Chain A
Amino acid sequence: MIPPAFEYHRPQDVASAVQILAEQGDEARCLAGGHSLIPMMKLRMAAVEHLVDLQDIAEMQGITTESGTIRIGAMVTQHELITSDALASAAPIIREAALQIADPQVRYMGTVGGNVANGDPGNDMPGLMQALDATFHLHGPDGARDVAAREFFEAAYMTAREDEEILTAITFAPHAKGYAYEKQKRKIGDYATAAAAVLIEKDGMVAGNATVAMTNLSDTPVFSEAAGAALTGTSCDAHAMKAAIDAMLNDIDPTEDNRGPVEFKRHVAGVILSRAISRAWDRA
């Protein structure tokens, strides 16, 4: 299990990192925490000629929660997401979700940027970022541009990011009071059989704006606008819950794998979403 040989780079700022990516084209790859990439390299499923380690880039670190915007540097680890008190008060769903990713050792290394840039439908952060309506900030040879999380994921391992672009940060607004991240996995440390991120804003006695995003139930995360709409204006009772689940089931497209056949995954998706809605509504 030895990764193939590569040339190693450790640039000190985003501009130099982008320059290496631009010079080397698709022979170059970023390295964040390495906990998706290194296993793939060990299996020889990823070949990389130039590895660009982002660990020294200060601009990509840190969490700020000022003036109504939360900014998370792409190199912030899952461990840092969990231990940030500022984040826990501004966006508690992040901690709830990050605690359900992998295991402690992986969370010390795995970054939020790597988790979303990876484009693996099994990753938990992409769906979560879609529920939050987050914005991804990219830097490339032609400067900076922003892409909405809901527009970023195109297919498994295919995203709107160009090869020579770096994801530098993620921003979003503090979320609704009602929140829940619910995940079904075979064992601790496993990727989701199904996971749901739900945010519900209470408007008087009923639900106002509600958002639903599902993980590992298609080749991209699934932001189900219809499921959210089915909750708006209701008291999230059994009838509304069923309408939301039906709408979500219309939007997902799971495939059979070692986590189970399609019917099972659809069943689990329904159970997980109903739990997430109940918990989010209780908190709203």
Chain B
Amino acid sequence: MSKMHIKLTVNGKEEELLAEPRELLIYVLRERLNLTGPHVGCETSHCGACTVEMNGKSVKSCTVLAAQANGAEITTIEGLGTPDELHVLQKMFKEHHGLQCGYCTPGMITRAHRLLQENPNPSEEEVRFGMAGNLCRCTGYQNIVKSIMAAAAEMNSAKEAAE
């Protein structure tokens, strides 16, 4: 089957590549663009480890075709923070033990990032409901929720200080 020209804006950078339409977005990101932050957990649309942001939506990139993503703007965990300059969510996950093995973490943080864009002041229940598409085998979720609540508080007080 012939390959198609695919254009993506990933973490603010324009990328062009040739891929078969049937390739899954997660593999385009990991294997063609070397962005190995998003992980493959289940490959069956259940675990959320592959979550990235596509055109302002949190999506499971194992269930998006390369062709479908053509023209899209994508943010992965690599676009949120760097080891030297962590995103507030990354800082809070670190501080509040929001991760153990870390496998689910890029998906958790990318999803939480979108959740806080849409609802900057979530209740604990709203965080749990909004994170329901992301599974973690290690933490028992308690500290993930704590980290996200702490990040929301931090982002809100930074916003207030700026005003």
Write out, one digit per residue, whether chain A residues 24-53 have a CB within 8 A of any chain B CB (1) or not (0): 000000010011001101100000000101
Decide: A109 near B67, CB < 8 A? Known: A1-B43, A8-B21.
no
CB of A2 within 8 Å of the partner chain: yes
CB of A3 within 8 Å of the partner chain: yes
Interface pair B63/A34, CB less than 8 Å apart: yes
B contact residues vs A (CB 8 Å cutoff)? 1, 4, 20-24, 43-46, 48, 51, 57-60, 62-65, 67-68, 70, 111, 115, 130-133
CB of A79 within 8 Å of the partner chain: yes
> What is the size, in residues, of chain A's interface with B at 8 Å between Cβ atoms?
29
Residues facing B in A87-126 (CB within 8 A) are 102-106, 108-109
B63 contact set on A, CB distance < 8 A: 34-35, 38-39, 109
Distance of A42 Cα from B42 Cα, bound (Å) = 12
Cβ-closest chain B residue relative to A2? B22
Interface pair B24/A105, CB less than 8 Å apart: no
B22, B70, B115: most-surrounded residue (chain A CB, <10 A)? B22
* 12 sampled A-B residue pairs with Cβ under 8 A: A1-B43, A1-B62, A3-B22, A3-B24, A3-B65, A8-B65, A34-B65, A35-B45, A39-B63, A104-B115, A106-B60, A188-B132
B19 CB to nearest chain A CB (Å)? 11
Cβ-closest chain A residue relative to B46? A189
CB of A141 within 8 Å of the partner chain: no
CB of A260 within 8 Å of the partner chain: no
Cβ-closest chain B residue relative to A1? B43
Interface pair A189/B132, CB less than 8 Å apart: yes
Cβ-closest chain A residue relative to B61? A105
Interface pair B22/A53, CB less than 8 Å apart: no
The 10 closest A-B pairs by CB, nearest first: A103-B133, A5-B1, A8-B21, A108-B57, A105-B133, A8-B67, A1-B43, A3-B22, A103-B132, A188-B132
Interface pair A109/B65, CB less than 8 Å apart: no
B132 contact set on A, CB distance < 8 A: 103-104, 188-189
Interface pair A39/B44, CB less than 8 Å apart: yes
A186 CB to nearest chain B CB (Å)? 13
B66 CB to nearest chain A CB (Å)? 9
B57 contact set on A, CB distance < 8 A: 79, 105, 108-109
Find A6's partner among B22, B24, B45, B115 (CB 8 Å cutoff): B22
Interface pair A109/B24, CB less than 8 Å apart: no
B60 contact set on A, CB distance < 8 A: 105-106
Cβ-closest chain B residue relative to A79? B57
Write out, one digit per residue, whether chain A residues 150-178 have a CB within 8 A of any chain B CB (1) or not (0): 00000000000000000000000000000
CB of A4 within 8 Å of the partner chain: yes
CB of A55 within 8 Å of the partner chain: yes
B65 contact set on A, CB distance < 8 A: 3, 8, 31, 34, 38, 51
